[in-house]
Amino acid sequence: MPPLRPMLAKASKDLPAGDFLYEPKWDGLRCLVFRDGDTIELLGRNEKPLTRFFPEVVGYLLEQLPPHCVIDGELLIATKSGLDFDRLSQRIQSTAEQVEQLAQSASASLMVFDLLALGDKDLRAEPLAERRRLLLESFGQLQSPLHLTPATVDGAVAQEWYDRFQGSGFDGVMAKPLEGTYAEDKRTQIKVKHHQTADCVVAGYRVHPEGGVTSLLLGLYEDAAEDGAEPQLQPVGLCSGFSASQRRTLAAELTDYEEGGHALHPWPDLTHAVLHSGPQGMEGRNKAWAAAISGEWVPLRCELVVELTYENFTSERFRQAARFVRWRPDKSPTECRFDQVDHPPPPEYETLFPEA
């Protein structure tokens, strides 16, 4: 039983070839599951207790798992449009009353991908190939919303997954050495994550404490409405990670776009909230976005387009800060639409997650 820390992975740009087990990389919360009779304990990264936040998952596990085991997996929330990481994050910041409500309205699932102990046998010293064999043998009949992850030893299949499974909660592909033992808290596995590009409108910037630009505030236009209404610019997140010299250069480049930024800005309510009252008064997506940019915020005329790279776009926003690539003076701001970041779930999604 706990404490125990999950095995980790190091990033790679390309899928490795050789004796690996390849699996989809899921956009969820890492979770170790410990069952000892009628007791279930869920443990996240850095030994974070998760049990009280996912009471419905505890119920599923009691119904389906062997009486004594330890498994490794990923907590997910499956919706019709894909996996929703924001709802997972909301869950672990909720009160007990809110958790009960969320468990009813947005039930979580568990994707299982490793077996660490079964009965009284500790399997961590066994090679992955043997742990996978025992996992299939003992957990092959799991029923939704508990799932056994798809896996393959065929590198060509893994590459096809990587090329085709983009967005909607598919984060990339994992490569795990078949002869590898379970090394707690060690980066002995390999993750190949998607890095995609998009063009966004620059709607403002946040000032760095030492001067210059610390973040660009990004927007995308809604798709054209059927009633002919003018598409609206929506906030989608941040672009950051600038060096000290880049911060100063960006500040000089953006100065000309500050004039009229307040009066002409398409987000007057958000501007007012960030500049004067902070994020507490905001709701929904704008609350999370405003929390990320609280501070000295300078609105700009929305005329600049930036090309950037990003990993995840979920719930109509970049979940992590995007990275600057270059300015796009050849593009009109109105060309920056949500359709460039829309990645519908692959055909297998409904089969994998019938609970969605």
Q: What is the pLDDT of residue 288?
A: 47
CA 252 to chain centre: 33
In the numeric block, the tokens 């170790």 are attached to 32
Joined together, the tokens standing for residue 45 give 């990264």
> What predicted TM-score, i.e. pTM, was given to this entire model?
0.81
Q: For this structure, is 25 an active site residue? A: yes
260 phi-psi bin (left φ>0, alpha ψ -120 to 50, beta other): left
**Would you call the peptide bond into 354 cis, given omega within 30 degrees of 0 as the criterion?**
no
Tens of pLDDT, residue by residue over 20-57, are 999 999 989 999 999 999 999 999 988 899 999 999 99
Q: Is the model more confident about 314 or about 128?
A: 128
pLDDT of residue 226: 66
Domains and CATH numbers, the chain: 8-193 (3.30.470.30), 196-340 (2.40.50.140)
What are the tokens at 252?
Answer: 């000089």
Mean pLDDT of the residues in the chain? 88
Q: Which of 28-42, 125-139, 277-291 has the lowest mean pLDDT?
A: 277-291
Rounded Cα distance between 12 and 10, Å, is 7
Which of 2-6, 154-158, 242-246 has the highest average model confidence (pLDDT)?
154-158
Higher pLDDT, 126 or 239: 126
pLDDT at 1: 56
Say if CB 176 and CB 189 are below 8 A apart.
yes
Cα distance between residue 56 and residue 104, in whole Å = 8
Burial status of residue 249 (CB atoms within 10 A of its CB: 0-12, 13-18, 19 or more): middle
Q: What are phi and psi of 133, to 5 degrees?
A: -60, -45
| DSSP code of residue 279 | G
Which one from 10, 13, 25, 287 is the annotated catalytic residue? 25
The pLDDT of residue 282: 38
pLDDT digits (tens, 9 = 90+) for 287-322: 444 545 555 778 899 999 999 999 888 777 887 889
pLDDT tens, 63-111?
Answer: 999 999 999 999 999 998 889 888 888 888 889 999 999 999 999 999 9
CB 317 within 8 A of CB 235: yes
Contacts of 52 (CB under 8 A, 6+ apart): 96, 99
